[in-house]
Amino acid sequence: MNLSGRFGLNSDAAKEKTYLLLGSDGRLYRSQTPGTIGGYRRKKIYGRLDCPSALRAIARGGYVAHRVFFADEKTAVAAGYRPCAVCLPDKYALWKADRSL
């Protein structure tokens, strides 16, 4: 018996790809659609998936254990994450200005 049969899944369900995303409530959930925004849980920062700073950290072997993904930017903000200063400098500047008021 294959694993899908062992766990009561039909073969179509076993083949379906899912992604683990962080919701606006800060809880992880499964989605059939990949996230469009990446985040770093320790510092509560979000940014583009191709962020040079995140990619450098990943290449050095760090960051991956604390990486999260969001469906969109609105969800990242609602979860309490701030924009990355490297890949989203304009949004970061606005966030920083709002905090100093």
Residue-wise pLDDT for 11-67, tens only, equals 555 568 899 999 999 999 999 999 999 999 999 999 999 999 999 999 998 788 999
90's enclosing H/E stretch is helix 89-99
Instruction: Give burial (CB, 10 Å; 0-12/13-18/19+) of 74.
Output: exposed
Residue-wise pLDDT for 41-51, tens only, equals 999 999 999 99
